[in-house]
Amino acid sequence: MKNIIYKVIKYLGTVLAFFNLLMFFAMRPCWSGISSTIGYGQNGKAILYYLPILICILFFLIAISDIVLKKLFNKNWLHITYLAVSFVFFVVIMVIIKLGAIDYMRFIWPKFFEALGLLAIVLALYCLVFIYPKSILKDSKLYKYCLIGLASLLMILIALNFSINRITYKPVVYAVEDKYQIIFSTNSEATAWVEVDGVNYYDTYNGSTKKFSKIHKIELPMAALDAAKKYTVHTQRSIYCGPFGGFLGKDISLTSNFKPVDTSDGIQYLSFSDIHMNVRQAAKTASFIEKYDFLVLAGDIISDVETFDDANFNNLVAYTITNGEIPVVYARGNHDVKGRYAEVLHKFVGAKGEDFYYNFYFDDIYGIVLDIGEDHDDDWWEYYGTSHYDEYRDKQVAFLEEEIAKHEYDHFAYHLAVCHIPPVFVNYRHNHEDIKARLTNLLNQMDIDMFLCGHQHEIMIFEPGLITPNTKLNYNPNFKGGTYNGYLTDFNFPCLMISKQGFTFSDDQPLSKTKSHIGLFIDVDLTNKKETCRYINGKGEDVNVMNMFYDKNYGTKIVINLDTKEFMPN
């Protein structure tokens, strides 16, 4: 019995050592957070920046020495020592997860299993070289034939690029300028097109149908789909596409009804921001709204755009809520610029070319979408010299100046603006002070009826004329005491933030454990020139909201006069 216990200790220590190594290596997205927590952002000491790498090297040395020393010295005290050391580091990793990495486990687990798979390959090679020659399988012809057969079948499937094509992410209709961009994905490389009222619109690249893509983005005139009120997406798998011939698979299609925006009876729309992968909670909130004309996704729907599926997460959320039957407006968030697929995100969502700022039109609605990009200034240490957003933001200033010069918005009854990071709010770090002031000044000239934003994971009501601009903010004493070392710009339009997890205004639920995500529903009465705004939680309840920086409670409804932009009594 004693020998069994020591053997369990021996192997458990080894397993734990390799688990620590693989898990900490998979936690790379959180390494900068570790450095920040221990003070790198304050003192800039290089040792704090590189400490996670040094810890990972330490875990590697522990795991390797565990195997080598136990092979050389089969001593019980050695097994106990390694188990104790590995257990201590296991606890440290669990604490790191508890303190914040838990919100990124969706990204960490795939990296962990990827590393585990590589380790399994190494173990398989070890068995093939050192164990197989000594086993009874080396003389088994059946085993050898089966192994060769499986290897041959695998090679054939790889050579033929075998797969069964299907639509993996169903179609979402994004609005950009005067066009719809219908986006969907397939599990195979395939061609794609959209059929509207007998006319086909193809997914092309400079005149040629795309054949080697799994993400499909087809652009068509708004007027065509608005009139047809129905569309069908088609796809054919690219079996072989050669220079002078090829073979395509079966035509797979999906038909969806579509309801264009009709402002003759007013406007109703729904908005979410900062869902951070909590699609179920957002969809639950949306289910309580029976009728709305379009959906606004105001950024940070996911936390990191590392994979193809991550890039499609906006589409997963949008389709879950809209069923592909109403238009969607998308604004990029600061988390949407992070990860391997962030550089091609424009292929997966509504965008003007590769840019995430543009205007759009729905019947009597004029809208603009802006994109501040990262939430810190370009020289912030977490960007390690790769952030160059100032020029990108300057282009948006020029874009707004052009829009003002055209005065096109004067021909529309309702003006909507969206940006993930609010230009009207300067945080305690005073990031983006100059660009926010410039954007605010231009937006003030455009008669904006509603500006939607997110980012802060709070409900913030920015009421024009209520708080003195460019002065330090004081918290509403009914919310919390003290001051906030930030300020508001001098804006003249209503701006509402929707980025709150939980059921109430003051809920503080962690992203990984939230049971509700609050959305914003806005009902616009164009006849009586007013809009009514309601924050709704995952129980379908209207949320009582207050101004975070002014002693004012708005109740469960915010009513705004469209002519004066004044917040009216309920």
Q: Which domains are delineated in the chain?
A: 2-133 (no CATH), 167-173+182-257 (no CATH), 267-568 (3.60.21.10)
pLDDT attached to residue 266 = 96
Q: What is the Cα–Cα distance from 533 to 543, expressed in whole angstroms?
A: 11
pLDDT attached to residue 224 = 98
Q: What is the Cα–Cα distance from 138 to 130, expressed in whole angstroms?
A: 12
Tell me which DSSP letter residue 165 carries: -
Give the sign of the dihedral formed by CA 119, CA 124, CA 129, CA 131: positive
Q: What is the Cα–Cα distance from 143 to 406, expressed in whole angstroms?
A: 76
pLDDT attached to residue 217 = 98
Token pair of 104, please? 């990124």
Which residues, at least 6 apart from 452, have a Cβ–Cβ distance to it below 8 Å?
271, 273, 296, 298, 331, 416, 417, 418, 419, 495, 496, 498, 520
Q: What is the Cα–Cα distance from 264 to 378, expressed in whole angstroms?
A: 45
Give the Å distances, CA to CA, from 535 to 23, 184, 272.
Answer: 39, 30, 10
Q: Are 363 and 263 in contact (CB under 8 A)?
A: yes
Token pair of 278, please? 């909590």
| pTM score of the predicted model | 0.89
Token pair of 174, please? 């994004």
pLDDT attached to residue 198 = 95
Which residues, at least 6 apart from 414, have a Cβ–Cβ distance to it below 8 Å?
263, 267, 364, 365, 366, 449, 524, 526, 562
Q: For the chain of 570 residues, list the mean pLDDT of each consecutive stretch of 10.
A: 80 92 93 87 84 94 90 84 92 91 89 93 84 78 84 82 89 98 96 97 94 97 98 94 87 97 96 94 95 97 94 97 98 95 97 97 97 91 88 97 96 98 94 96 98 96 96 91 91 96 88 89 97 97 96 96 92
Q: Are 360 and 411 in contact (CB under 8 A)?
A: no
Q: What is the Cα–Cα distance from 529 to 508, expressed in whole angstroms?
A: 35
Q: What is the Cα–Cα distance from 186 to 395, expressed in whole angstroms?
A: 34
pLDDT attached to residue 126 = 82
